[in-house]
Amino acid sequence: MSTQSDGLAGRDPSAAPDAAQLCELRPGVYAWVQPDGSWWVNNAGAVSGDGETLVIDTCATARRTHRFLTALGDVTGGAPTRWAVNTHQHGDHTYGNSLLPAATVLIGHERMREGLRTDPIIDGCPAFWSPIPDWGRVRRRLPDVTITAAATVHVGERRVDLLHPGGPAHTTGDLVAWLPDDRILFAGDLLFAGLTPLVFMGSVTGALTALDWLAGMAPEVIVPGHGPVLAGGEIDRVLDEHRRYFQFVLSEADRGLARGATPLEIARDARLGEFADWADAERLVLNLHRVHADRAGHELDLVAALCDAVTWLGHPMPTSV
Ligand SMILES: [Zn+2]
Protein backbone atom coordinates (compact mmCIF):
# COMPACT_ATOMS: atom_id res chain seq x y z
CA MET A 1 0.00 0.00 0.00
CA SER A 2 1.29 3.42 -0.88
CA THR A 3 2.25 6.11 1.59
CA GLN A 4 -0.64 8.23 0.38
CA SER A 5 -3.11 5.45 1.18
CA ASP A 6 -1.53 5.04 4.60
CA GLY A 7 -2.18 8.71 5.17
CA LEU A 8 -5.88 7.99 4.81
CA ALA A 9 -5.85 5.34 7.56
CA GLY A 10 -8.72 5.91 9.95
CA ARG A 11 -10.56 8.17 7.52
CA ASP A 12 -13.83 7.34 5.82
CA PRO A 13 -12.90 4.80 3.10
CA SER A 14 -15.91 5.93 1.06
CA ALA A 15 -14.04 9.20 0.42
CA ALA A 16 -10.84 7.51 -0.81
CA PRO A 17 -9.69 8.30 -4.36
CA ASP A 18 -10.63 4.82 -5.59
CA ALA A 19 -14.26 5.42 -4.56
CA ALA A 20 -14.67 7.86 -7.48
CA GLN A 21 -16.80 6.65 -10.38
CA LEU A 22 -17.45 7.60 -13.97
CA CYS A 23 -21.22 7.68 -14.60
CA GLU A 24 -22.56 7.73 -18.16
CA LEU A 25 -25.56 10.07 -18.05
CA ARG A 26 -26.36 9.74 -21.77
CA PRO A 27 -24.30 8.11 -24.50
CA GLY A 28 -21.08 10.15 -24.54
CA VAL A 29 -21.93 12.33 -21.52
CA TYR A 30 -20.06 11.49 -18.33
CA ALA A 31 -19.93 12.65 -14.72
CA TRP A 32 -16.86 11.90 -12.62
CA VAL A 33 -18.34 11.72 -9.14
CA GLN A 34 -15.98 11.69 -6.18
CA PRO A 35 -17.45 10.83 -2.78
CA ASP A 36 -17.76 12.32 -0.27
CA GLY A 37 -17.61 15.74 -1.94
CA SER A 38 -16.09 17.48 1.07
CA TRP A 39 -13.14 19.93 0.95
CA TRP A 40 -11.04 19.50 -2.24
CA VAL A 41 -12.98 16.39 -3.41
CA ASN A 42 -14.87 17.62 -6.49
CA ASN A 43 -16.91 16.33 -9.39
CA ALA A 44 -15.83 16.70 -13.00
CA GLY A 45 -17.25 15.54 -16.31
CA ALA A 46 -16.83 15.06 -20.03
CA VAL A 47 -18.69 15.06 -23.33
CA SER A 48 -17.39 12.83 -26.10
CA GLY A 49 -18.48 12.32 -29.69
CA ASP A 50 -17.10 11.76 -33.20
CA GLY A 51 -13.75 10.72 -31.76
CA GLU A 52 -13.15 13.87 -29.70
CA THR A 53 -13.68 14.78 -26.07
CA LEU A 54 -14.42 17.92 -24.03
CA VAL A 55 -13.32 17.60 -20.39
CA ILE A 56 -15.19 19.66 -17.77
CA ASP A 57 -12.81 20.39 -14.86
CA THR A 58 -9.91 18.37 -13.52
CA CYS A 59 -9.24 17.39 -9.89
CA ALA A 60 -7.14 18.69 -7.01
CA THR A 61 -4.36 16.13 -7.03
CA ALA A 62 -2.34 14.42 -9.73
CA ARG A 63 -3.52 11.07 -8.39
CA ARG A 64 -7.23 11.91 -8.57
CA THR A 65 -6.91 13.59 -11.97
CA HIS A 66 -4.98 10.63 -13.36
CA ARG A 67 -7.74 8.27 -12.21
CA PHE A 68 -10.36 10.46 -13.88
CA LEU A 69 -8.54 10.80 -17.20
CA THR A 70 -7.69 7.07 -17.28
CA ALA A 71 -11.32 6.06 -16.65
CA LEU A 72 -12.45 8.51 -19.33
CA GLY A 73 -9.90 7.21 -21.83
CA ASP A 74 -11.15 3.66 -21.21
CA VAL A 75 -14.76 4.48 -22.12
CA THR A 76 -13.98 6.79 -25.05
CA GLY A 77 -11.47 4.42 -26.61
CA GLY A 78 -8.75 6.99 -26.05
CA ALA A 79 -10.49 9.73 -28.04
CA PRO A 80 -8.25 12.80 -27.87
CA THR A 81 -9.25 15.52 -25.43
CA ARG A 82 -9.55 18.39 -27.89
CA TRP A 83 -10.93 20.87 -25.34
CA ALA A 84 -11.25 21.30 -21.60
CA VAL A 85 -13.09 23.90 -19.56
CA ASN A 86 -12.65 25.01 -15.96
CA THR A 87 -15.92 25.94 -14.24
CA HIS A 88 -13.99 28.25 -11.87
CA GLN A 89 -10.57 28.94 -10.43
CA HIS A 90 -10.55 26.73 -7.33
CA GLY A 91 -7.78 24.15 -7.10
CA ASP A 92 -10.05 21.15 -6.69
CA HIS A 93 -11.29 21.87 -10.24
CA THR A 94 -8.04 23.14 -11.79
CA TYR A 95 -4.80 21.90 -10.22
CA GLY A 96 -4.92 18.75 -12.38
CA ASN A 97 -5.02 20.84 -15.60
CA SER A 98 -1.37 20.10 -16.30
CA LEU A 99 -2.18 16.38 -16.66
CA LEU A 100 -4.30 17.11 -19.72
CA PRO A 101 -2.57 16.50 -23.07
CA ALA A 102 -0.42 19.42 -24.22
CA ALA A 103 -2.60 19.78 -27.35
CA THR A 104 -5.83 20.25 -25.36
CA VAL A 105 -7.26 23.76 -25.69
CA LEU A 106 -8.19 24.91 -22.18
CA ILE A 107 -11.10 27.36 -21.79
CA GLY A 108 -12.08 29.47 -18.78
CA HIS A 109 -13.65 32.76 -17.74
CA GLU A 110 -11.12 35.60 -17.86
CA ARG A 111 -11.41 36.18 -14.09
CA MET A 112 -11.00 32.44 -13.49
CA ARG A 113 -7.70 32.61 -15.38
CA GLU A 114 -6.51 35.56 -13.32
CA GLY A 115 -7.58 33.80 -10.11
CA LEU A 116 -5.58 30.68 -10.88
CA ARG A 117 -2.63 32.75 -12.09
CA THR A 118 -2.34 34.40 -8.68
CA ASP A 119 -3.42 31.40 -6.55
CA PRO A 120 -0.73 30.71 -3.94
CA ILE A 121 -2.18 27.41 -2.67
CA ILE A 122 -1.00 25.32 -5.64
CA ASP A 123 2.57 26.13 -4.63
CA GLY A 124 2.07 24.64 -1.15
CA CYS A 125 -1.13 24.20 0.80
CA PRO A 126 -1.29 26.07 4.12
CA ALA A 127 -2.15 24.18 7.31
CA PHE A 128 -5.79 25.30 7.34
CA TRP A 129 -6.66 21.72 6.29
CA SER A 130 -5.71 18.40 7.87
CA PRO A 131 -4.00 16.36 6.66
CA ILE A 132 -2.31 19.08 4.62
CA PRO A 133 -3.07 18.17 0.99
CA ASP A 134 -0.24 17.06 -1.26
CA TRP A 135 -1.23 17.92 -4.84
CA GLY A 136 1.43 15.63 -6.33
CA ARG A 137 3.13 16.38 -9.64
CA VAL A 138 0.95 19.22 -10.88
CA ARG A 139 1.86 22.65 -12.13
CA ARG A 140 -0.21 25.74 -12.76
CA ARG A 141 -1.80 25.53 -16.21
CA LEU A 142 -3.96 28.47 -17.25
CA PRO A 143 -6.70 28.65 -19.91
CA ASP A 144 -5.56 29.29 -23.49
CA VAL A 145 -8.94 30.76 -24.40
CA THR A 146 -10.87 33.09 -22.09
CA ILE A 147 -14.48 34.15 -22.30
CA THR A 148 -16.55 36.67 -20.34
CA ALA A 149 -20.15 35.72 -21.04
CA ALA A 150 -20.75 32.68 -23.24
CA ALA A 151 -19.24 30.33 -25.80
CA THR A 152 -20.39 27.14 -27.46
CA VAL A 153 -18.27 24.06 -28.07
CA HIS A 154 -19.57 21.60 -30.66
CA VAL A 155 -18.62 18.05 -29.76
CA GLY A 156 -19.71 15.84 -32.63
CA GLU A 157 -23.45 16.46 -33.02
CA ARG A 158 -23.79 17.88 -29.54
CA ARG A 159 -23.66 21.51 -28.49
CA VAL A 160 -22.21 22.44 -25.12
CA ASP A 161 -22.96 26.01 -24.01
CA LEU A 162 -20.46 27.51 -21.57
CA LEU A 163 -22.33 30.22 -19.69
CA HIS A 164 -21.42 32.81 -17.04
CA PRO A 165 -24.18 33.65 -14.53
CA GLY A 166 -23.72 37.38 -15.15
CA GLY A 167 -22.08 38.36 -11.89
CA PRO A 168 -20.20 36.99 -8.90
CA ALA A 169 -21.73 33.84 -7.37
CA HIS A 170 -19.46 31.00 -6.18
CA THR A 171 -16.50 33.04 -7.49
CA THR A 172 -16.24 36.00 -9.84
CA GLY A 173 -15.39 33.81 -12.86
CA ASP A 174 -17.92 30.96 -12.81
CA LEU A 175 -19.02 29.04 -15.90
CA VAL A 176 -21.54 26.25 -16.24
CA ALA A 177 -21.62 23.71 -19.07
CA TRP A 178 -25.16 23.32 -20.41
CA LEU A 179 -26.20 20.62 -22.88
CA PRO A 180 -29.51 22.02 -24.16
CA ASP A 181 -30.47 18.99 -26.25
CA ASP A 182 -30.04 16.62 -23.30
CA ARG A 183 -31.08 19.16 -20.60
CA ILE A 184 -27.97 18.20 -18.64
CA LEU A 185 -26.22 20.89 -16.61
CA PHE A 186 -22.70 20.77 -15.21
CA ALA A 187 -23.19 23.43 -12.55
CA GLY A 188 -19.68 23.60 -11.08
CA ASP A 189 -19.72 24.94 -7.53
CA LEU A 190 -22.90 26.95 -8.03
CA LEU A 191 -24.35 23.81 -6.37
CA PHE A 192 -23.09 21.60 -3.52
CA ALA A 193 -25.55 18.70 -3.18
CA GLY A 194 -25.92 17.82 0.49
CA LEU A 195 -22.85 19.76 1.59
CA THR A 196 -22.43 23.28 2.93
CA PRO A 197 -22.26 25.77 0.03
CA LEU A 198 -19.19 28.02 -0.17
CA VAL A 199 -19.40 31.51 -1.65
CA PHE A 200 -16.75 33.51 0.20
CA MET A 201 -14.84 34.30 -3.01
CA GLY A 202 -18.03 35.31 -4.82
CA SER A 203 -21.26 36.77 -3.47
CA VAL A 204 -24.05 35.45 -1.25
CA THR A 205 -26.71 37.55 -2.99
CA GLY A 206 -25.18 36.71 -6.38
CA ALA A 207 -25.25 33.00 -5.54
CA LEU A 208 -28.92 33.35 -4.60
CA THR A 209 -29.68 35.04 -7.94
CA ALA A 210 -27.72 32.35 -9.78
CA LEU A 211 -30.06 29.67 -8.38
CA ASP A 212 -32.98 31.22 -10.30
CA TRP A 213 -30.77 31.41 -13.39
CA LEU A 214 -30.01 27.69 -13.11
CA ALA A 215 -33.67 26.82 -12.46
CA GLY A 216 -34.66 28.84 -15.54
CA MET A 217 -32.75 26.43 -17.76
CA ALA A 218 -35.13 23.68 -16.57
CA PRO A 219 -32.42 21.01 -16.37
CA GLU A 220 -33.41 17.33 -16.12
CA VAL A 221 -30.04 16.28 -14.72
CA ILE A 222 -27.50 18.37 -12.79
CA VAL A 223 -23.92 17.44 -12.02
CA PRO A 224 -23.10 19.63 -9.01
CA GLY A 225 -19.53 20.66 -8.21
CA HIS A 226 -19.68 18.46 -5.10
CA GLY A 227 -22.10 15.72 -4.06
CA PRO A 228 -24.22 13.21 -6.00
CA VAL A 229 -25.76 13.77 -9.44
CA LEU A 230 -29.29 15.22 -9.21
CA ALA A 231 -32.33 14.34 -11.31
CA GLY A 232 -36.07 14.94 -11.26
CA GLY A 233 -37.50 16.25 -8.00
CA GLU A 234 -34.10 16.26 -6.32
CA ILE A 235 -33.21 19.34 -8.37
CA ASP A 236 -35.88 21.61 -6.92
CA ARG A 237 -35.23 20.24 -3.44
CA VAL A 238 -31.51 21.05 -3.61
CA LEU A 239 -32.13 24.48 -5.17
CA ASP A 240 -34.57 25.26 -2.33
CA GLU A 241 -32.06 24.08 0.28
CA HIS A 242 -29.50 26.46 -1.18
CA ARG A 243 -32.01 29.33 -1.17
CA ARG A 244 -32.82 28.72 2.50
CA TYR A 245 -29.11 28.45 3.40
CA PHE A 246 -28.15 31.70 1.65
CA GLN A 247 -31.14 33.50 3.25
CA PHE A 248 -30.00 32.11 6.61
CA VAL A 249 -26.47 33.47 6.05
CA LEU A 250 -27.80 36.88 5.03
CA SER A 251 -30.21 37.17 7.97
CA GLU A 252 -27.61 36.01 10.52
CA ALA A 253 -25.09 38.46 9.03
CA ASP A 254 -27.48 41.40 9.12
CA ARG A 255 -28.68 40.70 12.67
CA GLY A 256 -25.05 40.34 13.84
CA LEU A 257 -23.75 43.37 11.99
CA ALA A 258 -26.53 45.49 13.50
CA ARG A 259 -25.04 44.80 16.93
CA GLY A 260 -21.44 45.21 15.76
CA ALA A 261 -20.51 41.51 15.93
CA THR A 262 -17.65 40.01 13.92
CA PRO A 263 -18.25 37.14 11.47
CA LEU A 264 -16.74 34.70 14.00
CA GLU A 265 -19.00 35.99 16.79
CA ILE A 266 -22.05 35.77 14.52
CA ALA A 267 -21.17 32.19 13.57
CA ARG A 268 -20.68 31.22 17.22
CA ASP A 269 -24.18 32.49 18.07
CA ALA A 270 -25.87 31.00 15.01
CA ARG A 271 -27.95 27.83 15.17
CA LEU A 272 -27.38 25.77 12.03
CA GLY A 273 -30.72 23.96 12.35
CA GLU A 274 -31.53 21.99 9.21
CA PHE A 275 -27.99 22.64 7.88
CA ALA A 276 -26.20 21.09 10.87
CA ASP A 277 -25.79 17.70 9.16
CA TRP A 278 -24.03 19.08 6.10
CA ALA A 279 -20.28 18.49 5.88
CA ASP A 280 -17.95 21.49 6.08
CA ALA A 281 -20.27 23.54 8.33
CA GLU A 282 -17.38 25.92 9.12
CA ARG A 283 -18.02 27.49 5.71
CA LEU A 284 -20.64 29.54 7.56
CA VAL A 285 -17.76 31.61 8.94
CA LEU A 286 -16.31 32.11 5.45
CA ASN A 287 -19.69 33.00 3.96
CA LEU A 288 -20.33 35.51 6.77
CA HIS A 289 -16.95 37.09 6.04
CA ARG A 290 -18.15 37.63 2.46
CA VAL A 291 -21.34 39.42 3.58
CA HIS A 292 -19.34 41.46 6.08
CA ALA A 293 -16.83 42.55 3.41
CA ASP A 294 -19.57 43.37 0.89
CA ARG A 295 -21.62 45.37 3.41
CA ALA A 296 -18.50 47.28 4.52
CA GLY A 297 -17.30 47.76 0.96
CA HIS A 298 -13.83 46.33 1.52
CA GLU A 299 -11.86 43.41 0.12
CA LEU A 300 -12.31 40.07 1.87
CA ASP A 301 -9.23 39.04 3.87
CA LEU A 302 -8.91 35.38 2.82
CA VAL A 303 -6.34 34.46 5.44
CA ALA A 304 -8.31 36.08 8.28
CA ALA A 305 -11.48 34.34 7.10
CA LEU A 306 -9.79 30.92 6.95
CA CYS A 307 -8.20 31.47 10.38
CA ASP A 308 -11.65 32.23 11.80
CA ALA A 309 -13.11 29.08 10.23
CA VAL A 310 -10.41 26.98 11.92
CA THR A 311 -11.02 28.80 15.22
CA TRP A 312 -14.79 28.17 14.99
CA LEU A 313 -14.15 24.49 14.28
CA GLY A 314 -11.48 24.16 16.99
CA HIS A 315 -9.07 22.37 14.66
CA PRO A 316 -7.96 22.44 10.99
CA MET A 317 -10.64 21.67 8.43
CA PRO A 318 -10.70 17.92 7.62
CA THR A 319 -10.06 16.74 4.08
CA SER A 320 -9.90 13.33 2.40
CA VAL A 321 -8.29 14.59 -0.78
ZN1 LIG B 1 -15.07 25.94 -5.76
> What is the separation, in whole angstroms, between the first and last Cα of the chain?
17
- Going by pLDDT thresholds of 50, 70 and 90, the confidence category of residue 15 is confident
- Going by pLDDT thresholds of 50, 70 and 90, the confidence category of residue 2 is very low
Contact between 151 and 86 under an 8 Å Cβ cutoff? The reply is no
Rounded average pLDDT over 156-170 = 98
Contact between 194 and 245 under an 8 Å Cβ cutoff? The reply is no
- Cα(115) to ligand 1 centroid in Å equals 12
Residue 146 clears pLDDT 60, i.e. is over it: yes
Average pLDDT over the chain reads: 95
Residue 3 clears pLDDT 90, i.e. is over it: no
Contact between 144 and 103 under an 8 Å Cβ cutoff? The reply is no
Q: What is the pLDDT of residues 42-75, one digit of tens each?
A: 999 999 999 999 999 999 999 999 999 999 999 9
- Rounded to 5 degrees, what angle do the CA atoms 120, 291, 253 make? 135
Helices (H) and strands (E) counted in the chain, each on its own, are 9, 15
- Cα(260) to ligand 1 centroid in Å equals 30
- Cα(90) to ligand 1 centroid in Å equals 5
